[in-house]
Structure 1
Amino acid sequence: MSRIPKSVAGDAITSTESWETLEALVSIGNRMAGQDGEASGARVVADTFENVGAREIEINEFQIPGWWRESSSLAVEDEDLSGDHEVIALPGTPSGEETGELVDVGYGLAADFEERDLEGKVVMASSETPDDHGRWIHRMEKYASAADAGAVGFIFRNHVEGCLPPTGEVGYHNRPGPIPAVGVSAEVGARLLREYGGAKAETKGEKGTEATISVECRNEPTNSRNVEAVIGPETETEVLVTAHVDAHDISEGANDNGAGSALVAEIGRLLCNINLDTRIRLVTFGSEEIGLYGAYHWAQTHDLDSVKCVINIDGAGNSRNLGVGTNGFAELGETFEEVADDLRVPLSTHEGISPHGDQWAFVQEGVPSVMAYSRSEGSGRGWGHTHADTLDKLDIRDLRALAIVLSNAVVAVAEEGREIPHKSREQIRKEIDDGYVEELKIGGRWPYDE
């Protein structure tokens, strides 16, 4: 059973409009938060909202701590590895040059930092988290743990092959971070492990090879922006359908998160002319990749009691198999399961609270919120946060299928009789996994008073 008319579903299956929106976003190139490309992406979204028939379209600017990439390098034993392989700075890093003994800490779990002498060292950690660990370990936690242990530099090595150095924010709300940080490919990381000692030298009681990290960048204030519009009736409460339009400066940001922004606009197009019980607010946030600033700005400048729930779309598009992180809001999870059963499509759900993604700005305040994404094989981000996050990795058929399922879910959560209760901040605080509590505190992102 579909909650949207067959004619609308048929339109979704045959339309190219979501793909055209995505093409317009990736053609911009760099959509880094606070830079010209992000502003261009916001205008693409605003124009698309207007074209689909949404109303009350706004582009709202707010100040953020901006970051601009300049140059970076990595040398060991006086050999400049960046001559043959790209070495990229991680957003939020400070400028500077540091030299220290190279030490690899593996996955960068808490246990990997315990009882290790990392004072004055250059610490390297993998982008991978072991499958049996129970939660994903964010690069920011590994970076902050290295800095807290006295490291003078940080190397983030990719676990995905393809000569792809990973990027990703390390400063968050403590910009700039305390020590220089760079990303290197899996191949460079393997070479460093193979040829230059790292942990192997340490276990043998030998002094490891010295590594020198050099970073030049700019940390300066700038403006980001959110884009929003509404469809449906004028009601006291509203459902937010959200994504982030910014992307890292090293790629097109097709899957992360051009596809999410295109899906928000497509959901608006499909639902614009059908009867809805509750107003739907379409929002694309800026500055997700560097600290969720757009989502925090929206949450702090609006009455959250009027928000029935949030459906945040991030990382959806690399397959048609939908996954949903429910953040412990059982009623939202049950609604998605009901929709998936009715449409006879697969659905995977994760119930634990996650502080990663724009929905976190709302979850921490007790607003029912989910992250919707695509399930795919492999560990971690895959092509995300690398040069390879490009349009050719996606398929219009996947976007079409996701648009239908997500549009049905939006209609379902907007039903007048469907209760989706908020929680108190205290309830949320108690439900956060201890590991994430530690991560949030290490990274200076813990939002609760002790």
Structure 2
Amino acid sequence: MTTLPTALVGDAYTSTHSWDLLSDLVDIDNRMAGQEGEAEGAKLVKAAFEGHGLRDATITEFGIPGWWRGDCSLTVESDRTHVFDERYQLVELPGTPSGEVTAEIVDVGYGLPEDFEEADLEGKIAMASSLTPDGYGRWIHRAEKYYAAANAGADAFLFYNHIEGCLPPTGSIGEEDGPGPIPAVGVSKEVGDRLVRYCEGGAVEADLSVECRNEPTQSRNVEAVVGPDTDQEVLLTAHVDAHDVGEGANDNGVGTVLVSEVGRLLAEIEDDLETRVRLLVFGAEEVGLFGAYHWVETHDRDRVKSIVNVDGAGYSRNLDIYTHGFDPIGEAFREVADELAVPIEVSDDIRPHSDHWPFVQEGIAGAQARSKSGESGRGWGHTHGDTLDKLDLRDLRELAVGLAAGVVKLAERDREVQHKPVSEIRDATVEEGFEEGMRNTGSWPFDDE
């Protein structure tokens, strides 16, 4: 089977299943990893899998370092006293410890490695933009800026959004077994610009207060299968957890419902599938890819023919596939683009920051499926503004067709998708400039040989 039946495509383009499930997910309000809303979201997904007729729907729990948000505030002494304590102004970064810090704010600009080398941060509050300038050569992750500040002796960290009107950004900076070393908050571009202006006028003293709770908890993965009982299987994955400051509509409600919708479509053509397909929705992606790592550690990785992970797919209806150098995955989606006469951009770039990575770092053939936005950064993602009203059912329909068609091709019995030696993945990761940042955050997964 090489193309989707016309009737199935027509079904996808008139279906509301994905939108209905997405509406239910966002109405949970809080799907933070390890909290009750994430568990409720997993149950919704399992029920959807069962309703679509998928087999062996299960939920599997595993332990993670949990984090619960409290109150935070920033009081700044400039020409007068300014207090920032509203959620549209600042929010704690998940994984931050609680703390009270009184110190001078030091603006380190973009937060590039050289910016930290040039700054005196001992006992200070370091402040960095979420932007990495065009042409720098590699993207600097939030966590790298945070740990660079901590390693330089800073007592706290402010991470300000570079996109106007998109509210304060969140995102995990915790460690594998608990909170990070110093308190950290995200602030909006508007507050960040004001703080930069104050710093340009001279030394600025500030009081940062962060309250939160860090303790062990349980997250969960939910999965089901469709197709023949083969030795190998193709995985289509996403993550159900979301940051608690918004609805998690785009990140990653869209990915979750696309996995469910593709499963529904494949169930209609189950007898034509040539390899089993596993629909797999992870927990605890946003706080360290815990669900994906747990799955890889507890399953036979040799049975995975390939994985396509859907994360960051709500920006438009145009698929964007990052193959990590696994050319057969790219070839499959290029064929889909030709057959459906739709644009699908394929890149062999490395992207080590979502649930495909625990597979790819082991040499397992894996890709990330996103959609093209034409904008810098994640926009409303990781903010209060990640809400259902910014999404379009028509985008979900077209993305579901493209993903289903790509998965069907990857499931072809005669389509070989070879895994790679770990050394080859390591070399590609080094070549694309990720080594320094991953070492700085303690997430470098390869031996030093």
1:173 matched to which residue of 2? Answer: 176
CA contact (8 A) 1:127 1:159 kept: yes
1:150 matched to which residue of 2? Answer: 153
User: For each residue in 1:318-340, what CA deviation from the matched residue of structure 2 results, as whole angstroms up to 9, or x when unmatched?
Assistant: 21011111112122112211211
Deviation at 1:134, TM superposition (A): 2.9
2:286 matched to which residue of 1? Answer: 289
1:133 matched to which residue of 2? Answer: 136
Deviation at 1:349, TM superposition (A): 2.5
Aligned-partner Cα distance in 2 for 1:125–1:18 = 38
Deviation at 1:76, TM superposition (A): 0.9
User: For each residue in 1:267-305, what CA deviation from the matched residue of structure 2 results, as whole angstroms up to 9, or x when unmatched?
Assistant: 010011211010000000000000000000000000000
1:445 matched to which residue of 2? Answer: 443
Q: Report the identity percentage.
A: 60
1:40 matched to which residue of 2? Answer: 40
Q: Is 1:236 paired with 2:231?
A: yes
Amino acid at match of 1:160: I
User: For each residue in 1:51-81, what CA deviation from the matched residue of structure 2 results, as whole angstroms up to 9, or x when unmatched?
Assistant: 1110101000000000000011111114322
Deviation at 1:83, TM superposition (A): 5.7
Give the secondary structure class of the aligned counterpart of 1:225. Answer: strand
2:216 aligned residue (202, 211, 221):
221
Deviation at 1:136, TM superposition (A): 2.1
Q: Is 1:429 paired with 2:426?
A: yes
Q: How does 1:402-421 map to 2 (within 5 A)?
A: 402-421=399-418
CA contact (8 A) 1:66 1:221 kept: yes
Deviation at 1:86, TM superposition (A): 3.0
Aligned-partner Cα distance in 2 for 1:83–1:141 = 26
Q: How does 1:2-41 map to 2 (within 5 A)?
A: 3-41=3-41
Structure 1 residues 37 and 163: CA distance shift in structure 2, 3 A:
same
Amino acid at match of 1:123: A
Amino acid at match of 1:389: D
1:64 matched to which residue of 2? Answer: 64
1:245 matched to which residue of 2? Answer: 240
Deviation at 1:85, TM superposition (A): 5.4
1:109 aligned residue (103, 107, 112):
112
User: For each residue in 1:7-50, what CA deviation from the matched residue of structure 2 results, as whole angstroms up to 9, or x when unmatched?
Assistant: 11100001111111111111111000000000000000000000
> 5+ residue gaps in structure 2?
none
Q: How does 1:346-365 map to 2 (within 5 A)?
A: 346-365=343-362
1:258 matched to which residue of 2? Answer: 253
1:316 aligned residue (313, 318, 321):
313
CA contact (8 A) 1:353 1:433 kept: no
Judge which range, 52-61 or 341-350, deviates more: 341-350
Give the secondary structure class of the aligned counterpart of 1:433. Answer: helix
Give the secondary structure class of the aligned counterpart of 1:13. Answer: helix
Question: What is the TM-score of this pair, normalised by structure 1?
Answer: 0.96
Aligned-partner Cα distance in 2 for 1:416–1:363 = 22
1:164 matched to which residue of 2? Answer: 167
CA contact (8 A) 2:91 2:168 kept: yes
Amino acid at match of 1:102: I
Give the secondary structure class of the aligned counterpart of 2:442. Answer: coil
CA contact (8 A) 1:129 1:379 kept: no
Structure 1 residues 374 and 440: CA distance shift in structure 2, 3 A:
same
CA contact (8 A) 1:18 1:266 kept: yes
Give me the CA root mean square deviation.
1.4
> 5+ residue gaps in structure 1?
none
Aligned-partner Cα distance in 1 for 2:394–2:129 = 34
Judge which range, 326-335 or 308-317, deviates more: 326-335
Question: What is the TM-score of this pair, normalised by structure 2?
Answer: 0.96
Aligned-partner Cα distance in 1 for 2:155–2:331 = 47
